[in-house]
Amino acid sequence: MTSTVTLSTTGLAAADVLAVARHGASVQLDPAARETVAAVRRHIEELALGETPVYGVSTGFGALADTSIPPSMRHALQRSLIRSHAAGAGPEVETEVVRALMLLRARTLASGRTGVRPVVVETMLALLNAHITPIVHEYGSLGCSGDLAPLSHCAIVLMGEGRARDRAGVERPVPELLAEAGIEPVLLEEKEGLALINGTDGMLGMLLMAIADLEDLLRVADLTTALSVQALRGRDTVFHPELHGPLRPHPGQAASAANILALLEGSGIIADVAAEGSRVQDAYSLRCAPQVAGGARDTVEHARTVAERELASAIDNPVVLEDGTVTSNGNFHGAPVAYVLDFLAVVGADLASIAERRTDRMLDKARSHGLPPFLADDPGVDSGFMIAQYTQAALVSEMKRLAVPASVDSIPSSAMQEDHVSMGWHAARKLRTGVENLRRVLAIELLTAARAIDLRAPLTPSAASAAALAVLRETVDGPGPDRFLAPDIAAAEALLRDGTVLAAVEEVAGRLR
């Protein structure tokens, strides 16, 4: 894990963002980037002294862009901008989201395209390194003109105002937090307030984290599919490579099929099914798993392409071009990011939906090929996993609701100057909920398939599957009379979140694709 991330004029890698946002890595400004930022700032200061109006430097903002601001009022202009735009409401967003938001804004400030002083970038990095986290609220961004309210709640802390939490998560007065860390509040100069808030940084940070989570969950989905195939006495022939790459060359589909086949290798249950030879084909939720998970994989890859392009961008308005021209633009519009955030919510919901169908099949004695009703120890007295499937169905239903796109909505703002917005922040917020729910759905499939496989004894699962079951059984007991199930679901979810199950499986089967 990278312990220190360096900000240069060329941007960041996704891994750098995760290191800072999730793992507390420190950040430093590359000396060459500092020189570039300082040189561009000198140019902005020259423009500020001129008579030609420059948006954000010597004028008001948004619908007030034609209002000229005299030099004596420009400190007040920048200060008022941040105070008025720090107008969020609702619950606080997660620390990792705020850290990603701050880092990505600092990345653009370090590009030399925004015209801020080096001290502004360095103060933002100092907040990150001191683990001072501004309080940012759920509501306030329309995903256009940047994530304005969320970024303003970060910028106001640079000024020594607003609200923030310390490393331990305790809210304390901002002046006290800054003084303790040896950080001087920033008195914002021309252009700097605007540069601090005019970016897609919140939605991009959440996109990068969702991609990382979904990469793991797609491999988990292949694992739970393999477990369910064995639990339901399915066939492995549909996962053979000649049915995928050559016949339908979607790369994600081929990768998913290869994973499932590897995870089934050596299964005594599958060998018994082949010897029996009584069924021609399995239900869609088994047979079509690579097509669904593969489509999800390919969508994640498209989202990664968009995220990498956005990571290479310098989002501000106005922006300073290489020839020194300061010009207005629309690059702050979050549409490209909002679209893929919505796409990921759709495929996550469908991946959860097919997993729930496999779970339900294992609980139905008419479709489970010999398993007891609801996998109960004493059906009638015991209910087994009946209500665990209810919970799974409730999660899937919520995910389907959250898959309704946010990016097709738009409410005009700023006296109709900002008459089309992306709602990308909202697309990101609902995707975060969707990703968490997908992990819970897969945790319940893991629990269900593990119990069903145990009930198939003396037939044995594949070695990779046995490794997953061994890890699970360290914290969750096997079949028996009904017990308090919520802790079991939470334990399985934790094993998926921290990667313990995948690590055990990949030690046996090799790195999954």
In order of 157, 186, 389, the CA distances from 79 in angstroms are 12, 10, 53
Which residues are tagged catalytic?
A: 55
- pLDDT for 55 equals 75
**3-class DSSP state for residue 49?**
helix
- pLDDT for 132 equals 98
Contacts of residue 178, defined as CB under 8 A and 6 or more positions apart, other chains included, come to 132, 157, 160, 184, 185
| pLDDT 10s digits, 43-81 | 988 888 877 777 777 776 666 667 777 888 888 889 999
* 217 neighbors 344 (Cβ within 8 angstroms): no
**3-class DSSP state for residue 124?**
helix
Q: Are strands 89-92 and 133-134 parallel, antiparallel or unpaired?
A: unpaired
Contacts of residue 252, defined as CB under 8 A and 6 or more positions apart, other chains included, come to 293, 294, 295, 296, 297, 298, 299, 301
- pLDDT for 62 equals 63
Domain boundaries, the chain: 8-199, 206-509
- pLDDT for 71 equals 81
**3-class DSSP state for residue 146?**
coil
CA 359 centroid distance within chain: 26
**Rg (the chain; Cα; Å):** 26
Distance CA 402, CA 386 (A): 25
Q: What is the DSSP letter of 510?
A: -
| pLDDT 10s digits, 17-26 | 999 999 999 9
* 320 neighbors 44 (Cβ within 8 angstroms): yes
Q: Which residues of the chain have pLDDT under 50?
A: none
Contacts of residue 295, defined as CB under 8 A and 6 or more positions apart, other chains included, come to 250, 252, 253, 347, 350
Distance CA 444, CA 488 (A): 9
* 125 neighbors 12 (Cβ within 8 angstroms): no
In terms of C-beta distances under 8 Å and separation of at least 24 residues, what long-range contacts does 367-372 make, across chains too? 367/232, 367/283, 368/231, 368/232, 368/452, 369/232, 369/233, 370/233, 371/231, 371/452, 371/455, 372/455
Q: Burial level of 177, CB count in 10 A (0-12/13-18/19+)?
A: buried
- pLDDT for 141 equals 92
- pLDDT for 87 equals 96
Q: Which region holds residue 185: left if phi is over 0, alpha if psi is between -120 and 50, else beta?
A: beta
CATH ID of 206-509, from 3.40.50.300, 1.20.200.10, 3.30.70.240, 3.40.50.620: 1.20.200.10
Q: Burial level of 252, CB count in 10 A (0-12/13-18/19+)?
A: buried
CATH superfamily placement of domain 8-199: Fumarase/aspartase (N-terminal domain) (1.10.275.10)
Question: In sequence order, what DSSP letters do the residues of 469-496 get, joined into one string?
Answer: HHHHHTTS--S-S----HHHHHHHHHHH
Residue whose tokens read 């007891």: 372
- pLDDT for 64 equals 65
